[in-house]
Amino acid sequence: MKTPRIIVVGAGPVGVVAALACAQHGFAVTLLEAESKVDDSPRAATTHPATLEMIDRLGLIEPFIAQGLVARYFHFWDRPTRTRIAEFDHDLLRNETRFPFVVQTEQHKLANMGLARLREYADSIIRFETRVTEIRQDAGGVTATAEGTDGVEEFQADYLIGADGGRSTVRKALNIEFEGYTWPERFLIFTVTDDFQQMLDCCYRNYFADPEEWVNLFKVAGDDGGGRWRACFPGRVDEADDHALSDEAVHGRIQRAFPKGGPYNLVHRNLYKTHQRVAAKFRLGRVFLAGDAAHVNNPIGGLGLNCGIHDAIELVDTLHQFVSGRADESLLDRYERRRRTMNIQFVQEATIANKKRLEESDPQVRRANLDELRARSEDPVRHKEFLMRTSLIESVRKAQLIS
Ligand SMILES: Cc1cc2nc3c(=O)[nH]c(=O)nc-3n(C[C@H](O)[C@H](O)[C@H](O)COP(=O)(O)OP(=O)(O)OC[C@H]3O[C@@H](n4cnc5c(N)ncnc54)[C@H](O)[C@@H]3O)c2cc1C
């Protein structure tokens, strides 16, 4: 029997994980990426326990941990009074997972280490500078038309995974609606080399609630392993992008949040449009959507990529069960039933609630929210329940119950 071939569109972290999982299951893979290299702009880093288990299955856990930072705790703060409200400790999950911690490893590192592993499979074709423009499918297979440095080319396969990000060409080619909304404010991300742990006595993952301007503050290793801190702020709705990224506005924002007797050493600044959207369908015939192509959300809680990796693993396992004759074709729809439901129930719900909690302006509701977080952190049973949800262990277990 001919080895089934799968085209994966997009060499972001989700596409690379999907392609590597395909190769490891014995599929032939064609990975097509529009750009000339993996995008290394600062985005996801927070990788939760349930996702670490999947990265372990791929055989990448050692380099993944070695290139990142292990973050056992996360903290909620009240920004106006600079008070730490609650500490959550992943070690409470030690009987639930082999990885009772988060690992902060930048997403381009995962994509690059996955690509290096994928290159070891003789049946894998990896093409950069190859932008997919059209998809056709029929009873016999699927064809992707792509534009590359040598002109227009066609690629054939049995199935295709669209992991081509939020603006997915694959999703648009299938005419699948991206249901949801876009937040009116931009999210601003600044990276500095100054050591917040020393300045604030904070941990590697911190959420500062403030009705005027919330902040998320995280540590990542950086490509040189020297350590960087990333702060995420909401922009003002009426603020022009150029102004928000000007030296004056950027340094002003960081200094107002975390005053320091001297300038910060700023190494990166950017701003993002943020959405809460889920594709109306995750499968159409031989074509599937995964990662940001299927769902996008605000980054508070660090869930979007985690959920995308869960999509990739679930999808490839499902395809493998079907192709190896252990299930009939109707199983392929279970992918959507599991992953679309989990995205809505866990990721969309949690990220919208996280944003609301950080920006809450009603003083009574705000007080009640912070009291509730503190009470939860002080009660071992509720503390663990909260971590089961934030770590996505609960979502993975719930998904397994969907037939
Ligand atoms: C500031 C910020 C912080 C975040 N932090 C976290 C976090 O801590 N934890 C978390 O889980 N998530 C986080 N996220 C979300 C996370 O970055 C995304 O969910 C993740 O990038 C999705 O990966 P992906 O592979 O699906 O898509 P992408 O990373 O967007 O990759 C898509 C790839 O497809 C390629 N492509 C596009 N069109 C085509 C085409 N037509 N043909 C071929 N190739 C194409 C693109 O060039 C790209 O390489 C954050 C996001 C932002 C903006």
Ligand 1 centroid to 292 CA: how many Å?
A: 6
Ligand 1 centroid to 32 CA: how many Å?
A: 15
Ligand 1 centroid to 373 CA: how many Å?
A: 30
**Which residue's alpha carbon is nearest to atom 3 within ligand 1?**
43
Ligand 1 centroid to 395 CA: how many Å?
A: 21
**pLDDT above 90 (res 296):** yes
Closest CA relative to residue 335, chosen from 279, 401, 282, 396: 282
What atom of ligand 1 comes closest to residue 10's alpha carbon? 34
Ligand 1 centroid to 42 CA: how many Å?
A: 10
**Which residue's alpha carbon is nearest to atom 14 within ligand 1?**
44
Q: What are phi and psi of 161, to 5 degrees?
A: -110, 120
Query: What's the mean pLDDT when you consider all of the chain?
Result: 97
DSSP string, 95-123: TT-S--SEEE--HHHHHHHHHHHHTT-TT
Q: List, chain by chain if needed, residues with CB within 6 Å of any ligand 1 atom.
A: 9-15, 32-35, 39, 43-46, 107, 131-132, 163-165, 169, 189, 272, 291-292, 299, 302-306, 308
**Which residue's alpha carbon is nearest to atom 51 within ligand 1?**
43
Q: Mutation test of ligand 1: which of 41, 69, 106, 107 has the most ligand atoms closer than 8 Å to its C-beta? A: 107
> Please, what is the angle between helix 304-323 and helix 332-342, to 10°?
170
**pLDDT above 90 (res 1):** no
Mean pLDDT on 336-342:
97
Q: What angle do CA 183, 186, 188 make, to 5 degrees?
A: 140
Ligand 1 centroid to 224 CA: how many Å?
A: 22
pLDDT 10s digits, 258-280: 999 899 999 999 999 999 999 99
Mean pLDDT on 327-333:
93
Signed CA dihedral, 379, 385, 391, 393: sign only: positive
pLDDT 10s digits, 171-223: 999 999 999 999 999 999 999 999 999 999 999 999 999 999 999 999 999 99
Q: Mutation test of ligand 1: which of 20, 31, 32, 43 has the most ligand atoms closer than 8 Å to its C-beta? A: 43
pLDDT 10s digits, 60-87: 999 999 999 999 999 999 999 999 999 9
pLDDT 10s digits, 218-257: 999 999 999 999 999 999 999 999 999 999 999 999 999 9
Ligand 1 centroid to 39 CA: how many Å?
A: 9
Ligand 1 centroid to 107 CA: how many Å?
A: 8
Per-residue pLDDT, 36: 98
pLDDT 10s digits, 14-39: 999 999 999 999 999 999 999 999 99
Three-state SS string across 184-234, please? CCCEEEEEECCCHHHHHCCCCEEEEECCCCCEEEEEECCCCCCCEEEEEEE
What atom of ligand 1 comes closest to residue 307's alpha carbon? 11
**Contact (CB, 8 A) for 54 and 16:** no
Per-residue pLDDT, 141: 97
Distance CA 338, CA 18 (A): 17
Distance CA 34, CA 37 (A): 9
Mean pLDDT on 366-388:
97
Q: Mutation test of ligand 1: which of 305, 310, 392 has the most ligand atoms closer than 8 Å to its C-beta? A: 305
The residues pairing with 76 across neighbouring beta strands, listed in sequence order, are: 86, 207
Q: What is the signed CA dihedral for 393, 375, 297, 283, rounded to 10 degrees?
A: 30
Per-residue pLDDT, 52: 98
Ligand 1 centroid to 168 CA: how many Å?
A: 10
What atom of ligand 1 comes closest to residue 272's alpha carbon? 53
**Contact (CB, 8 A) for 333 and 283:** yes
Per-residue pLDDT, 2: 85
Ligand 1 centroid to 354 CA: how many Å?
A: 21
**Contact (CB, 8 A) for 87 and 373:** no
Beta carbons within 10 angstroms of residue 101's beta carbon: 22
Residue type present at position 143: T
Q: Mutation test of ligand 1: which of 292, 310, 339 has the most ligand atoms closer than 8 Å to its C-beta? A: 292
**Which residue's alpha carbon is nearest to atom 5 within ligand 1?**
44
* Residue 339: pLDDT band with limits 50, 70, 90: very high
Give the N- to C-terminal CA distance of the chain in Å, as an integer. 29
Ligand 1 centroid to 196 CA: how many Å?
A: 27
What atom of ligand 1 comes closest to residue 164's alpha carbon? 34
Per-residue pLDDT, 230: 97
Distance CA 219, CA 231 (A): 9
Q: Are strands 266-272 and 130-138 parallel, antiparallel or unpaired?
A: unpaired
The CA-atom distances, in angstroms, between 286 and each of 33, 327, 342 are 20, 16, 22
**How large a percentage of the chain has pLDDT more than 70?**
100
Per-residue pLDDT, 40: 94
What atom of ligand 1 comes closest to residue 45's alpha carbon? 8
Element at 335 (helix H, strand E)? helix 332-342
Residue type present at position 98: R
Distance CA 328, CA 385 (A): 37
pLDDT 10s digits, 305-329: 999 999 999 999 999 999 998 889 9
Element at 339 (helix H, strand E)? helix 332-342
Ligand 1 centroid to 12 CA: how many Å?
A: 6
